[in-house]
Structure 1
Amino acid sequence: MRVLVVEDDSLLAQGLVRVLTRAGHAVDRVETGLQADKALRAAAYDLVVLDIGLPDIDGFEVLRRLRLRHSTANVLVLTARDAVEDRVHGLDLGADDYLTKPFSVTEFEARVRALLRRVSLPAGAVSVGGLTVHVEAKSVRCNGAPIDLTVREWALLELFMSRPGRVLSKELIAQQLADYDAQLSPNAIEVYVSRLRSKIEAAGVRIRCAALARKRCCMSFDSRS
């Protein structure tokens, strides 16, 4: 995923870039609001990590301009302001989530994972084989019949469908599905994949496991031809 970090505190920005790069994201960094506005006009980002207290124009103005261009980029606002009205203002302008400084790396990573799980699935219905996913309603139909998914099964389905045809490692799946205070073991991932597979295979859709180097199991998601 492509991420833009907008933060004028050099030490904090460097730390955020390291965390995001370690997670496998392509990261750009700018220090001012005008630089952010220019970068966001020039390129499409999956996630914007946006500080509010910036030189020149503040983060609220950057966010306002971004949403006026109908950008669907996820925006995680960072701020030292903890007043409720500031948080409400940011959310009203179109922020997707809010973190008040200081915050832990673990919480930051979890918020990023949660936001990036939303990426790449358009609003409305998405169909693969006989499987129809209504993203906004969080409903799934298999050959026209509704099926029930747990929260993690839904997150796993979103992850596969947002990356059609790609092979996903267990490590990536664990990063995307983990909660703030929980780590998923490889065995737990296999259980979730198996449960999801059993619910959707009647739609002519399969999750394939491929043994790669070091016998690491990876999964891909596609419709049967």
Structure 2
Amino acid sequence: MILLVEDDPRLGENIKVNLELRGFDVALATSLSSARSIVQNQQVTASLIDIELPDGCGLDLCIQLRERDSTLPILMISARGDEKTVVRGLEIGADDYIRKPFGMRELATRLEKLLHKYRRKENIIQFGSIVIDLDRREAYYTKTCIPLAKREFDLLVLFLNNPGRVFSRGQLIDHLSNVEIIQDRTVDSHLSHLRRKLKQVACYEVTIKSIYGTGYQLIENQADNEDKD
């Protein structure tokens, strides 16, 4: 649900209707107090906040929202376009700023870009210099692509999401066996290929260790060159 905070009821309703026509679910608040009530009682996925409100400043709400959720898209709205106000809003956590008067198409485009930006962040795993793009199923080390096969990619994601955890071979088989039947030696082969490909791109930040009689564990090395010898 999009939280729209605009003290001008006519403009607020116009924005609300236009965004709803584009498929957004919008809750309109015309004051700081009503906006806070909505935040307490509903799940907010993005906020459009007018700076000048009858019972306070929209910047204060921006601070509160950012403290609650570091990934909430926040777009500030104001007739004031002075640099000091814009910079202040961006410094306290706003993602973007739009000055009145504005076109509804521009507003919707800015909102959609912010939502896309945060959705992309949710689908990115970063562990040191290793970056995993879950949408594209791609892995990178210092911007160098790691050419992983499907099962190697799945294993790397599992280990990076659970650093330090020891997985038994049976647990790895269960993780990989959602479609095909995985044998013990198949898991060993996938792990061997994964380790080799990490070394091929000189990725020594992590090591997938074999724990005798127990399973496998990803550990973070203290120095990049720890395993080079």
TM-score normalized by the length of structure 1:
0.56
Whether 1:36 and 2:42 are equivalent positions in the alignment is: no
Alignment of 1:14-163 (within 5 A): 14-120=13-119, 121-122=121-122, 124-125=125-126, 126=132, 128=134, 131-132=137-138, 141=145, 143-144=147-148
Task: Specify the SS of the correspondent of 1:117.
Answer: helix
Deviation at 1:24, TM superposition (A): 0.6
2:46 and 2:114 map into 1 onto residues whose CA distance is 8
Between 79-88 and 49-58, report the one with greater CA deviation: 49-58
Structure 1 residues without counterparts, runs of 5 or longer: 146-225
Residues 132/17 of structure 1: CA separation in 2 closer, same or farther (3 Å cut): same
Residues 87/130 of structure 1: CA separation in 2 closer, same or farther (3 Å cut): closer
Corresponding residue for 2:2? 3
1:130 and 1:98 map into 2 onto residues whose CA distance is 30
Task: Specify the SS of the correspondent of 2:56.
Answer: coil
For the 8 Å contact 1:132–1:140, the answer to whether it is kept is: no
Residues 119/13 of structure 1: CA separation in 2 closer, same or farther (3 Å cut): same
2:118 and 2:21 map into 1 onto residues whose CA distance is 19
Q: Deviations over 1:57-106 (max 9, x none)?
A: 21001011112223421011100111100000000010011001111122
Task: Specify the SS of the correspondent of 2:107.
Answer: helix
1:80 and 1:61 map into 2 onto residues whose CA distance is 17
2:55 and 2:82 map into 1 onto residues whose CA distance is 22
| Aligned residues with identical type, % of pairs | 28
Residues 132/43 of structure 1: CA separation in 2 closer, same or farther (3 Å cut): farther
Q: Deviations over 1:110-135 (max 9, x none)?
A: 2112112123342534554981367x
2:112 and 2:106 map into 1 onto residues whose CA distance is 10
Task: Specify the SS of the correspondent of 1:77.
Answer: strand
For the 8 Å contact 1:46–1:119, the answer to whether it is kept is: no
- Structure with higher Rg: it is 2
Amino acid at match of 1:47: A
Residues 133/30 of structure 1: CA separation in 2 closer, same or farther (3 Å cut): farther
Task: Specify the SS of the correspondent of 1:88.
Answer: helix
For the 8 Å contact 1:131–1:143, the answer to whether it is kept is: no
Residues 43/142 of structure 1: CA separation in 2 closer, same or farther (3 Å cut): farther
Aligned residues: 141
User: Higher relative contact order by CA 8 Å / sep ≥ 6: 1 or 2?
Assistant: 1
1:24 and 1:74 map into 2 onto residues whose CA distance is 17
Deviation at 1:39, TM superposition (A): 1.6
CA RMSD of aligned residues (A): 2.6
1:140 and 1:31 map into 2 onto residues whose CA distance is 49
Between 78-87 and 100-109, report the one with greater CA deviation: 100-109
